[in-house]
Structure 1
Amino acid sequence: MRRLACLLLLFCCTLARAELPETDWLDLMPPEDRKALEDMPEISHDSPEGDGTFGQQGGLKQQKDLPAVMYSAKTVAGLDGKRIHIGGYPVPLESDAKGRSTLFFLVPYPGACIHVPPPPPNQIVLVRYPKGIALDDIYAPIWVDGTLKVEKVSNDLADAAYALDAGNVRLVEEGDL
């Protein structure tokens, strides 16, 4: 009986550690938003940030004259409460006493904190990671595992349509590619 209990425990631990399938960023958008994004005209990147001059505030906040899909906070209800594995780029917001990021936005492409326009809110995920991770380079991709929530978050930097309570965050390694 003891041997059976040990085998069952080992099996459960193996399942818990098994990597979740990767969630694609487009999976966070409802089908109508994906279609609108595909049909969207070219966007100009002419801005103070694009010129390398950062005299005005902006962060990830949207301009006011973009196609509607670029402001979309429409979510996919079936993802609420689902455990996911998603790759992206961090935009640090808060850190602990050791300088590890404990709260950050995850975005689908590098440099979203300085490029205009930023992703739509349904392509920005607020990540809560109390353990913290050292983020020396915001252009280095990371993997995040955790439970996704449909949760609108707004601060001075950005608007997000999702939040994720992370159980694991790690840098993407060469073997992942």
Structure 2
Amino acid sequence: MRRLVLTLLLLGSGLAHAAELPETDWLELMPKSDQKALEAMPEIDHNTPEASGTFTEKGGLKQSKGLPAVMYSSKTVASMNDRHIRLGGYPVPLESDAKGRSTLFFLVPYPGACIHVPPPPPNQLILVRYPKGLKLDDIYTPLWVTGTLKIEKVDNDLASAAYALEAEKVRVVQEADL
């Protein structure tokens, strides 16, 4: 009995990290056919109109014409619908509360998406709803977002997304996470 109690105490000390969901990979949100198309895609030229703009301009996250079809893909993975996930990414703020905390934002897989490089395809953009809000210093701050993922087409002046997530927890990635 004593050994069981000691084992439980030792295991309990690591429960904070063990309770966190494993990380979902962005590629899990993309059908295999899209993954293969991305692998075969030619190098993208960064001298685009987006390079001198910002994500806040109307259509700033929209795809420019002439990119390979996979860059416009809104194909989703059905098994991801209603899945409880933890995903790392970068915010593109859309709305904030009276205290300046971001309550609605797009989550993208890499920093600076849409500023100096073409934006990700819609199946690599997630609209995050987080009523609690999070104070964001800048869009280069990596985040962990945990919540329930939904297949939901979102199309606004800024971007098109194929998924939405009702976030229960959003936190800045810490050095200890890496």
Which TM bucket (shorter chain)? 0.7 to 0.9
- Conserved in 2, the CA contact under 8 Å of 1:23 and 1:85? yes
Query: Structure 1 82/58 Cα, relative in aligned 2: closer, same or farther at 3 Å?
Result: same
Give the 5 Å matches for 1:161-172. Answer: 161-172=162-173
User: Structure 2 regions of 5+ residues with no counterpart?
Assistant: 1-11
* Alignment partner, residue 9 of structure 2: none
The answer to whether the Cα contact below 8 Å between 1:91 and 1:113 also exists between their aligned partners in 2 is no
TM-score, with structure 2 as normaliser: 0.86
| 2:156 aligned partner | 155
User: Which string of whole-angstrom CA distances, capped at 9 and with x for unpartnered residues, describes residues 89-126 of structure 1?
Assistant: 00000000000000000000001131331000000000
- In structure 1, what residue type is equivalent to 2:23? E
Instruction: Give secondary structure in 2 for the equivalent of 1:27.
Output: helix
Structure 2: distance between partners of 1:26 and 1:116: 19
Partner Cα separation in structure 2 for residue 37 and residue 105 of structure 1: 21
1:138: which partner in 2? 139
Q: Which residue of 2 aligns with 1:3?
A: none
**Residue 173 of structure 1, CA deviation:** 0.4
Q: Which residue of structure 1 lines up, in the alignment, with residue 8 of structure 2? A: none
- How far 1:166 sits from its partner (Å)? 0.2
* 1:43 Cα deviation from its structure 2 partner: 1.0
Q: Contact 2:127–2:154 (CA<8 Å) still a contact in 1?
A: yes
1:79 aligns with 2:80: yes
- The residue that corresponds to 2:177 in the other structure is 176
Q: Distance in 1 between matches of 2:149 and 2:45?
A: 32
Distance in 1, Cα, partners of 2:116 & 2:60: 9
Q: Percent identity?
A: 72
How far apart are the structure 1 equivalents of 2:110 and 2:89? 6
Structure-2 change in CA distance of 1:106 and 1:48 (3 Å)? same
Deviation at 1:86, TM superposition (A): 0.2
CA RMSD of aligned residues (A): 1.8
Tell me what 2:107 maps to: 106
More deviation in 41-50 or 31-40?
A: 41-50
- Stretches of 4+ moved more than 6 A in 1? none
Give the unaligned 5+ runs of structure 1.
Answer: 1-10
Q: Distance in 1 between matches of 2:94 and 2:100?
A: 11
Q: Does 1:37 align with 2:38?
A: yes
User: Counterparts in 2 of 1:12-27, with a 5 A limit?
Assistant: 18-27=19-28
1:100–1:76 Cα change, 3 Å:
same
- Corresponding letter in the other structure for 1:145: T
Give the Cα separation in 2 of the matches to 1:58 and 1:134.
24
Cα distance in 2 for residues equivalent to 1:116 and 1:123:
14
Distance 1:27 1:128 in 2: 21
| Distance in 1 separating the partners of 2:136 and 2:116 | 19
Q: Which amino acid aligns with 1:147?
A: T
